[in-house]
Chain A
Amino acid sequence: MMPHAVSSLLHMEQVNTEDCEGVSAGAFVFQSRPNHSLTHRQQQLVLWSLATVCFATASGFALLGYWLILPFAGLEIGLLAWALETLRSREGDYETLTIEGDVIVLEWHAGTHGERREMNRQWARVICDCGTSGRNCRLSLSSHGRETKVGQYLSDEARLQLAATLRRKLQA
């Protein structure tokens, strides 16, 4: 049992800031990123602790002539290293939505891929539709026949909140 209480699920970790670098004071900036609770140092600790145990065991048996454990230990630790490296590469993932003057800028970065799209505020429309249960909500911005989804790291509730905020901002 967890010894401490849990806060409301609607609490949002994402940053909703008006004073990001590189944008004017009046701009609206909404940035979200996935949650990472493991630091790079801790990742290294996990990898090396397991690698040490696996290779020490496998080497011990190899010294006795039973060397076929060693390649399996290598493969397994290789897979673990790949998994941790993949997690590390996701640490920089983010999604940023900026409304500054008449320009809306959507930027996102996932793994090695980065993308940026600009649209005119006057032509942009907020589209938000949910499943019949009020869940599985999809939020996107549409302009000139192109639809771009936003809020990939958000819950349904947070997407609905963001949709309302965006509608207000676009009408202002």
Chain B
Amino acid sequence: MSDAAHAHDDHGHHAHPTGIMRWLTTTNHKDIGSLYLWFSLIMLFTAGSMALLIRSELFEPGMQLMHPDFFNQLTTMHGLIMIFGVIMPAFTGFANWQVPLMIGAPDMAFPRMNNWSFWLLPVAGIMLLGSFWLPGGAVAGGWTMYPPLFIQGGVSYDLTILAIHIMGLSSIMGSINIITTILNMRAPGLTLMKMPMFVWTWLITAYLLIATMPVLAGAVTMLLTDRNFGTHFFNAAGGGDPVMFQHIFWFFGHPEVYILILPAFGIISQIIPTFSRKPLFGYASMVYATASIAILSFTVWAHHMFAVGMPVAAQLFFMFSTMLIAVPTGVKVFNWVATMWKGSLTFETPMLFAIAFVCLFTIGGFSGLVLAMAPVDIQLQDTYYVVAHFHYVLVSGALFSIFAGIYYWLPKWTGHMYNETLGKTHFWLSVIGMNIVFFPMHFLGLAGMPRRIPDYALQFTEFNQIATVGAFIFGFSQLIFLVLVLKTIKGGAKASDQVWEGAQGLEWTVPSPAPYHTFETAPVVK
């Protein structure tokens, strides 16, 4: 057979590499999905441990455990790793596993690029974590990297910029792969308006990523040149404008918030109909609401900057445009509730997390509306109220949706049912722990406690102690999740192909566990 013929037929049906080489060289979407999810879990425990250190220091006023500069490093790295190392990779892991299965494609459109997308991430992760051991320690100016602090830092700041570039490259390659896979590899008959909501939300997320990543890359590169090459983009000492960095950063940063939450909406939109045994209420309106949120996300960036000073007209514009986002978000919440209305509900662990998502994310949304009001925001800027707000969005929103998705699809991935008792224990401890940590932070913020400080005034002690206790409950309950995942991979009751009685979609038509190769011939959707 000719070389071309070899190349033509080289599908790896036999002789898959084994051991470490399987994972290093794999181009299989399921393997790469698993790699993303494991990377995310490792980073969750890493950044979560940082959070526990932070909360330990804050258990009492005064300095107990660490130097304030190390506290700042932990705060910064906790944010950076949770966003770029936990939430984003976890959703990309879901996309890798589920998008081809849900659209009837054999794999991603560019499997080798998919491999590179993943393996860039550990490199960036090592750079970020390794910077703790560099002279001066890790970056300590906050995950937003504002100058002038970021221009004045040590060598770890350069390393962080490089790590962000690498993670950005990984995201861009992943996004291009997802867009081309969804648009070009849908099974015959699977029109755009028949796609599962998870696929829709990822398509829109990938558009957002591609639209915003050059802005982040440009911003951090200008920081780099300000630091090392004598430019003065943001260096006020040379005539630069540090506030402009904030504009540029948040032009990326606010769409990034939706990059972190839109796939969560997609997961929840899969789970609620399954356990309500009803089709999703208002499918088309869900699609349009998702697209509206994405478009509006480009018009609200300056609500993060009301305190820097801007014309009243600008304040009004950004205030109202931010409030406007509540409309499509409200459509989503309404549709989830309407889907459950008069459904035959059962409360397995994925559904519990999904319901918790709807309730708690809505609290985060409402506190976001409070912060959208410019005069209120000026009072609450950089207080613990903001910390409470974004943790309700990102923990009970993004992270809970990740848990929900893992419980939902784990039987399909492993072929085994997870232990429901352990799952529900994990759920209740997480929900209770999460609320004990973050709900008191609203009161701390309203009382004026600033964020990102290692010490505080005596009157904030009780709420901080409650939050710290909650943090340890929440943190250690994640070990239950780890045990559950390992047990499910190792064995357990055999999962059926359908897994859940009410589940619908192409992924449930393949065996459990999903075979290494699926949909080599495209199915037809009617």
CB within 8 Å of B: which residues of A?
1-9, 11-14, 35-38, 42-43, 46, 50, 53-54, 57-58, 61, 64-66, 68-73, 75-76, 79-80, 83-84, 86-87, 95, 108, 110, 113, 115, 117, 131, 133, 135-138, 140, 146-149, 152-158
Contact = CB atoms under 8 A, between A and B. Distances in A.
Given A2-B504, A37-B185, A87-B109, A147 B1 contact: yes
12 contacts: A4-B526, A6-B506, A6-B525, A35-B105, A35-B185, A61-B218, A66-B218, A73-B214, A76-B213, A84-B180, A135-B516, A152-B11
Nearest to A138: B13
A135 to B, nearest CB: 5
B490 interface: no
Given A58-B214, A80-B210, A1 B505 contact: yes
A64 B109 CA distance: 38
B149 to A, nearest CB: 19
B162 to A, nearest CB: 14
Nearest to A91: B184
B221 interface: yes
Contact of B525 (A2, A57, A58): A2
A66 B243 CA distance: 13
B188 A13 contact: yes
Contacts of B434: none
A37 B189 CA distance: 9
Given A35-B187, A37-B190, A84-B180, A7 B219 contact: no
Nearest to B339: A1
Contacts of A86: 110
| A71, A83, A146: residue with the most chain B Cβ atoms closer than 10 Å | A83
A158 B1 CA distance: 23
A117 B185 contact: no
A69 B207 CA distance: 17
B350 to A, nearest CB: 14
The 5 closest A-B CB pairs, nearest first, are A69-B218, A149-B9, A72-B214, A155-B521, A38-B184
B8 A68 contact: no
Contacts of B273: 1
A13 B522 contact: yes
Interface in B177-208: 177, 179-180, 183-190, 194-197, 207
Given A11-B524, A35-B185, 5 more contacts: A8-B523, A35-B105, A46-B179, A76-B214, A108-B5
B22 interface: no
A148 B523 CA distance: 26
Given A1-B196, A57-B251, A66 B244 contact: yes
Interface of A: prevailing SS: mixed
A13 B104 CA distance: 12
Contact of A79 (B172, B189, B225): B172
B184 A115 contact: no
A155 B515 CA distance: 12
A45 to B, nearest CB: 10
A1 B274 contact: yes
B253 to A, nearest CB: 14
Contacts of A66: 218, 222, 233, 244, 248
Given A1-B505, A35-B185, A137-B13, A50 B109 contact: no
A13 B523 CA distance: 8
Contacts of B189: 7
B509 interface: yes
Contact of B14 (A5, A12, A71, A131): A131
Given A46-B183, A84-B180, A64 B521 contact: no
B520 A37 contact: no
B188 A37 contact: yes
A37 B504 CA distance: 22
A115 B4 contact: yes
A82 B457 CA distance: 57
B9 A7 contact: no
Given A1-B279, A9-B523, A13-B521, A148 B183 contact: no
B7 interface: yes
Given A1-B270, A54-B210, A148-B5, A158 B222 contact: no
A63 to B, nearest CB: 13
Contacts of A71: 218
B2 interface: yes
Interface string B261-301: 00000000110011000011001000000000000000000
Contact of B188 (A5, A35, A140): A35
A14 B214 contact: no
A70 B218 contact: yes
Given A113-B4, A115-B5, A135-B515, A7 B11 contact: no
A36 B4 CA distance: 23
A22 B411 CA distance: 50
Contacts of B524: 7, 11, 13
A69 B2 CA distance: 47
B67 interface: no
Nearest to A74: B214
A72 B213 CA distance: 8
Interface string B496-508: 0000000011100
Contacts of A157: 521
Given A1-B279, A66-B222, A79-B172, A6 B523 contact: yes
Interface in B115-158: none
A169 B283 CA distance: 49
Given A3-B279, A54-B214, A131-B14, A152 B521 contact: no
